[in-house]
A and B are shown apart, each in its own frame.
Chain A
Amino acid sequence: MPRPEHRSITFTIDGREVQAPENTILVDAAKLGDVEIPVFCYEPKLGQPVGACRMCLVEIEGIPKLQTGCSTPVKDGMVVHTQTARVKEAQAAVVEFLLINHPLDCPVCDKGGECPLQDISYGWGGGTTRFIEPKRHFVKPLELSPLIAIDRERCILCYRCVRFSQEVSEDYQLVLHERGAATFVGTFDGHPYVAPFSGNIIELCPVGALTSRPYRFRARPWDIEGSGSVCTLCPAQCNVSFTVRDERVLRVLARQNDGVDDGWLCDKGRFAYQSVHSDERVTQPLLRDGGELRPVSWERALATAAGLLKKAGAGVAGLAGGESTNEEGFLLQRLIREVLGSSHVDAAGVDPVDLWSLARPDLQASLQDVEYAHTVLVLGTEPVDDMPILDLRIRKGVRRNRVKLAVATARPSSLDASAALSVRYAPGGEGAFVTALTAAVYGGDVDAPAAAAGADVDAIRTLAELLRTGGGDDDNRAPGDVVIVWGTRLLGADGGAVTPALLKLASGLALTGRDGGGLLAVPASTNERGLLEAGVAPGLAPGFGDTGAAGESYAEAGIARALRDGDLTALYLLHDDPILSRPDAVGWDRALEKATTVVAHAQFLTAGLREHATVVFPAESYAEKEGTVTHPDGRVQRLRPAIGRQGQTRPEWWVLSELSRRLGADMGILTGAMASRQLFDAVPFYAGLTLDRIGGRGVRWPADPAAAAAFPPPPEVRRDVAYETTATPNGALRLGTFRSIWAGIEVELSPALTFLTPRQQVEMAPADARRLGVAHGDKVVVAGDGASLEATVVLRNAASPGSVFLQTGIQTDAANGLDAALVEIHKA
């Protein structure tokens, strides 16, 4: 559905002529004329207004009764009064009515000082009450979930939280019980409200009824400072505002940016800030001495690291983890390439030319396109796990703009219920599936690739039909705007076949150069796109340039192999632990064992670093960092430090530039901003960017014609690559993997979120479980290719028989320990 177009109209409010787009809600239109209408229940983010609180009553000429400003759209020539005696009497009456049962415990309430009810009582209330009867009482405070405290006495029944749960996150957990004055908010059967986005109701609540448990009584609004930055815990890169008191982050609030997060946050982004102040943080340089990492001075750590890197010379490889900023990645590749003379740097772990071809600005869809497209195809990704905020955006499009949603994944998706069509394929059949879908859209042989993907041919044909016609009827068969949301994990699985097929699919659907449609990648790690553009990719200089290096540049798997074979001797890890984050943990373990030198920047000593790192530099957390990151849709965003660095931590750009100086090359960087400057000069399509221009909202470079024209054309993709055929189970089970939203050490180390730390679980279809004789909750051993791990059985009705799914990214028993396409399962 295309973006709505608005006609400008003129209406009169309090005797003032105001121009506003037609059908704007009166409360918003009044603001254009500098008139404030008080509201409690109205929140445009929640969709349709409900008019529950009656605070926004206004007088409209020609209508005998007072009208609710939050549910009345403005029309041309409308005459509105907000200052008449009738309106004032009604407003004072509503405030008095709301305060009848509201306890006056503002000094104790966490909302006190930033409470809309306080503000509106002062601004529009009568100031007195005639109510002398006892107030309504509930047991308080109660835990609505381990993260949220509920105080039902304070609730003014504005429905915001319930509407969020029902209409935005669609977890349908919160409901209103009882009727009249006895109404209260809760979950249906009293179970805790645990959902990926539950924390948003804290921010929505206009009174102190829903408060954050981790923030409970920590500070009052006048004790704190807000500091805007970007959350780098997942690729969604939501804009956040850190609440800081005494140099500690105490809370994270959403900072609304319609182009990025729409004003929502997931619970990981909202509560994982606690890991910033965890005791587990590495806060001083560590050096391996006698087999153990011991704290040393910066001087000693830098001298040792420089000496070891110098010795290794061109035998050094660099790996950047997804949390690295563009600047850090840019300096890492300078250190490895220019200073040490090696050519082996990688971040994403998939063929960078594939990512380059699919990141073309003319194919790029923006995040807002998802909301207004005719059809959205979610391909090989689970948004709620991989990029949680995107899940809300897709649901918003489907619910409010009647976007047709198609889901094509191996694992059952949480979006299936909202989808017009869901298609499953077998894990390992990614390339074949995209080939089949492209053939179905474009014409060609569908049956063979569909069989190789383990997918239903008819379902693929229906999906192709939906994409081609936008699901319209016979009279309206325009292809419409299609946004393909695809996971870059697809490339890791069967990249060679996915890229050409996906490009062909995009051109078959006329997505090239189309406003409102295109491809939107869901990367596997936070700043995958930025690091690629900053040149942290084998064989590609910053801005997809030529490195001019002779010989082969190893990617992630090549680096591991070369380290094992002794071709490379040293590894530089920037915010990365390959044993946790890369496929083939066993191979990486041997590679790190064999490496003579492992230099790492890390916030936490994860398993691989504790075992194998030679030098560990303490790394900044995202609340301390300065620099830029690039959103999957091409928006360059800026991180700003909210708190001082913990302990002896120093910035990564300083360490990289200092190491380079000690190795005999001066990078010419004295401040973080100088590193940004160098990056913007080196990448052609970042030309003209400055930190000031990026500001608080970011800059989407693909939307800038000059920047898009500076994008170097990717080389012709290889079209001769054959897709792989998914493994035949033959009694065993195909293995697929997924990464939970709760995976990651930040969740584990945040006391509030620890209860959500994922344990290894194996998701399977009930039919398979019956065949194997295991039940939901059983402990099993999953074995494949000589390795095995323990997991708990989770049955999913929607899972396709013959395939099981294990988690990656967790600290113990992660799926990357098994490097097998087929696994056997037996009871532990």
Chain B
Amino acid sequence: MSWHPGADQIEVMRPPAPGAAGGTYRAFAETMRGLKTTFARVIEGVHTLQYPEQKTPVYPRFRGRHRLHKFEDTGLEKCVGCSLCAAACPADCIRVVAAENTPELRVSAGERYASVYEINLSRCIFCGYCEVACPFDAITMGHDYEMSDYQRSDLIFTKEMLLAEPLERAPLRAEGE
């Protein structure tokens, strides 16, 4: 069955044909109207940020690259390897393999710890569900957004990389800014 235009027909508003009086108006008057806006902004000065020398400051709740945390007093990892972040992750980019703490090797505060904790940042959609799911506040979203790399494999962040103090390259937006 072929399609026939009926009630669905759309009226197209045609602009004035070029060369006519309407065309002249469009080329001149409308251009001037646009330039008025442009010149009005010139006095405001330059808005361009010279990235990467200059960076956009982020809001405190900006969801950047994840961080894993340790207890400040004991130095033990907060993560117990419960894998709830992996369960919550809609992009399925977190992989956790747990292991048991022993008296000789105590990594976390609980019975278990994450022996493998990997986030594939090339798949992560930065939704922050992992942070919400974490019962121990072990994972939070940091402020770092500069993660591009030359290899996809380099975008799989391991536990050591996530635990390390990140280079705080992204400035935080000051109060009221």
User: Is residue B100 contacting chain A, with contact meaning CB distance below 8 A?
Assistant: yes
Report chain A residues within 8 Å CB of B83.
Answer: 219-220, 222-223
User: Is residue B82 contacting chain A, with contact meaning CB distance below 8 A?
Assistant: yes
User: Is residue B90 contacting chain A, with contact meaning CB distance below 8 A?
Assistant: no
Report chain A residues within 8 Å CB of B145.
Answer: none
Which residue of A108, A217, A220, A223 contacts B99 across the interface (Cβ within 8 Å)? A217
User: Is residue A695 contacting chain B, with contact meaning CB distance below 8 A?
Assistant: no
Which residue of A108, A141, A218 contacts B82 across the interface (Cβ within 8 Å)? A108
User: Is residue B80 contacting chain A, with contact meaning CB distance below 8 A?
Assistant: yes
The answer to whether A222 touches B135 (Cβ under 8 A) is: no
The answer to whether A217 touches B100 (Cβ under 8 A) is: yes
- Compute how far the CA of A222 lies from the CA of B133 in the bound complex, rounded to whole angstroms: 14
User: Is residue A105 contacting chain B, with contact meaning CB distance below 8 A?
Assistant: yes
User: Is residue B35 contacting chain A, with contact meaning CB distance below 8 A?
Assistant: no
B139 to chain A, nearest CB (A): 12
The answer to whether B111 touches A108 (Cβ under 8 A) is: yes
Residue of A with least CB distance to B109 = A108
| A residues 748-797 touching B (CB-CB < 8 Å) | none
- Compute how far the CA of A85 lies from the CA of B140 in the bound complex, rounded to whole angstroms: 43
Which residue of A105, A216, A222 contacts B110 across the interface (Cβ within 8 Å)? A105
Q: A216-B100, A217-B98 are in contact. Are A108 and B86 (CB under 8 A)?
A: no
User: Is residue A127 contacting chain B, with contact meaning CB distance below 8 A?
Assistant: no
User: Is residue B84 contacting chain A, with contact meaning CB distance below 8 A?
Assistant: yes
A249 to chain B, nearest CB (A): 16
Q: A107-B80, A107-B136, A108-B80 are in contact. Are A220 and B87 (CB under 8 A)?
A: yes
The answer to whether A107 touches B84 (Cβ under 8 A) is: yes
The answer to whether A222 touches B87 (Cβ under 8 A) is: yes
User: Is residue A116 contacting chain B, with contact meaning CB distance below 8 A?
Assistant: no
- Compute how far the CA of A106 lies from the CA of B100 in the bound complex, rounded to whole angstroms: 15
User: Is residue A112 contacting chain B, with contact meaning CB distance below 8 A?
Assistant: yes
User: Is residue B128 contacting chain A, with contact meaning CB distance below 8 A?
Assistant: no
The answer to whether A222 touches B86 (Cβ under 8 A) is: yes
| B residues 105-139 touching A (CB-CB < 8 Å) | 110-112, 135-136
Residue of B with least CB distance to A151 = B111
What is the 8 Å Cβ interface bit string for chain A, positions 540-555, against chain B (1 contact, 0 not)?
0000000000000000
| Chain B CB within 10 Å, residue with most, of A108, A113, A223 | A108
- Compute how far the CA of A217 lies from the CA of B98 in the bound complex, rounded to whole angstroms: 6
A122 to chain B, nearest CB (A): 15
Report chain A residues within 8 Å CB of B96.
Answer: 223
- Compute how far the CA of A219 lies from the CA of B116 in the bound complex, rounded to whole angstroms: 12
Residue of B with least CB distance to A140 = B111
Report chain B residues within 8 Å CB of A108.
Answer: 80, 82, 110-112
- Compute how far the CA of A108 lies from the CA of B87 in the bound complex, rounded to whole angstroms: 14
Residue of A with least CB distance to B84 = A107
- Compute how far the CA of A108 lies from the CA of B136 in the bound complex, rounded to whole angstroms: 11
The answer to whether B86 touches A107 (Cβ under 8 A) is: no
User: Is residue B64 contacting chain A, with contact meaning CB distance below 8 A?
Assistant: no
The answer to whether A217 touches B86 (Cβ under 8 A) is: no
A113 to chain B, nearest CB (A): 8
User: How many chain A residues have a CB neighbour from B under 8 Å?
Assistant: 14
- Compute how far the CA of A222 lies from the CA of B82 in the bound complex, rounded to whole angstroms: 11
Report chain B residues within 8 Å CB of A220.
Answer: 82-83, 86-87
- Compute how far the CA of A137 lies from the CA of B49 in the bound complex, rounded to whole angstroms: 60
The answer to whether A223 touches B82 (Cβ under 8 A) is: no
A108 to chain B, nearest CB (A): 5
What is the 8 Å Cβ interface bit string for chain A, positions 609-644, against chain B (1 contact, 0 not)?
000000000000000000000000000000000000
| Chain A CB within 10 Å, residue with most, of B80, B84, B110, B111 | B111
A109 to chain B, nearest CB (A): 9
Residue of B with least CB distance to A222 = B87
| B residues 60-78 touching A (CB-CB < 8 Å) | none
Residue of B with least CB distance to A216 = B100
The answer to whether B136 touches A141 (Cβ under 8 A) is: no
| A residues 204-246 touching B (CB-CB < 8 Å) | 216-220, 222-223
Report chain B residues within 8 Å CB of A222.
Answer: 83, 86-87
Q: A107-B82, A108-B82, A112-B82 are in contact. Are A217 and B112 (CB under 8 A)?
A: yes
What is the 8 Å Cβ interface bit string for chain A, positions 285-299, against chain B (1 contact, 0 not)?
000000000000000
- Compute how far the CA of A483 lies from the CA of B90 in the bound complex, rounded to whole angstroms: 56
A644 to chain B, nearest CB (A): 19
- Compute how far the CA of A106 lies from the CA of B135 in the bound complex, rounded to whole angstroms: 10
- Compute how far the CA of A112 lies from the CA of B112 in the bound complex, rounded to whole angstroms: 13
Report chain A residues within 8 Å CB of B86.
Answer: 220, 222-223
- Compute how far the CA of A107 lies from the CA of B87 in the bound complex, rounded to whole angstroms: 12
| B residues 86-100 touching A (CB-CB < 8 Å) | 86-87, 96, 98-100
A149 to chain B, nearest CB (A): 10
Which residue of B80, B84, B98, B110 contacts A218 across the interface (Cβ within 8 Å)? B98
Residue of A with least CB distance to B108 = A108
What is the 8 Å Cβ interface bit string for chain A, positions 632-665, against chain B (1 contact, 0 not)?
0000000000000000000000000000000000
Residue of A with least CB distance to B79 = A107
B160 to chain A, nearest CB (A): 20
| A residues 185-218 touching B (CB-CB < 8 Å) | 216-218
The answer to whether B100 touches A107 (Cβ under 8 A) is: no
The answer to whether A107 touches B135 (Cβ under 8 A) is: yes
The answer to whether B80 touches A141 (Cβ under 8 A) is: no
What is the 8 Å Cβ interface bit string for chain A, positions 116-144, against chain B (1 contact, 0 not)?
00000000000000000000000001000
- Compute how far the CA of A112 lies from the CA of B86 in the bound complex, rounded to whole angstroms: 14
Residue of B with least CB distance to A245 = B97
Q: A107-B135, A108-B80, A108-B82 are in contact. Are A141 and B111 (CB under 8 A)?
A: yes
- Compute how far the CA of A460 lies from the CA of B104 in the bound complex, rounded to whole angstroms: 62
- Compute how far the CA of A219 lies from the CA of B112 in the bound complex, rounded to whole angstroms: 12
| Chain B CB within 10 Å, residue with most, of A105, A107, A216 | A107
Residue of B with least CB distance to A220 = B83
- Compute how far the CA of A437 lies from the CA of B80 in the bound complex, rounded to whole angstroms: 64
Q: A107-B136, A222-B86, A222-B87 are in contact. Are A217 and B81 (CB under 8 A)?
A: yes
Report chain A residues within 8 Å CB of B84.
Answer: 107
A658 to chain B, nearest CB (A): 37
- Compute how far the CA of A112 lies from the CA of B81 in the bound complex, rounded to whole angstroms: 12
- Compute how far the CA of A280 lies from the CA of B87 in the bound complex, rounded to whole angstroms: 35
A404 to chain B, nearest CB (A): 49
- Compute how far the CA of A222 lies from the CA of B92 in the bound complex, rounded to whole angstroms: 11
- Compute how far the CA of A141 lies from the CA of B99 in the bound complex, rounded to whole angstroms: 14
- Compute how far the CA of A218 lies from the CA of B87 in the bound complex, rounded to whole angstroms: 15
Report chain B residues within 8 Å CB of A217.
Answer: 81, 98-100, 111-112
Residue of B with least CB distance to A113 = B87
Residue of A with least CB distance to B100 = A217
Report chain B residues within 8 Å CB of A218.
Answer: 98
Residue of A with least CB distance to B138 = A107
B129 to chain A, nearest CB (A): 14
A468 to chain B, nearest CB (A): 59
- Compute how far the CA of A220 lies from the CA of B83 in the bound complex, rounded to whole angstroms: 7
Report chain A residues within 8 Å CB of B82.
Answer: 106-108, 112, 220
Report chain B residues within 8 Å CB of A107.
Answer: 80, 82, 84, 110, 135-136
A640 to chain B, nearest CB (A): 25
B43 to chain A, nearest CB (A): 58
Report chain A residues within 8 Å CB of B112.
Answer: 108, 217
Residue of A with least CB distance to B112 = A217
Residues of A within 8 A of B (CB): 105-108, 112-113, 141, 216-220, 222-223
A and B contact pairs by CB, cutoff 8 A, 10 listed: A105-B111, A106-B82, A107-B80, A107-B110, A108-B82, A108-B112, A141-B111, A220-B82, A220-B83, A220-B86
The 3 closest A-B CB pairs, nearest first, are A107-B82, A217-B98, A220-B83
Residues of B within 8 A of A (CB): 80-84, 86-87, 96, 98-100, 110-112, 135-136
Additional A-B contacts beyond A112-B82, A113-B87, A222-B83 (17; CB < 8 A)? A106-B135, A107-B80, A107-B82, A107-B110, A107-B135, A108-B110, A108-B111, A141-B111, A217-B81, A217-B99, A217-B100, A217-B111, A217-B112, A219-B83, A220-B82, A222-B86, A222-B87
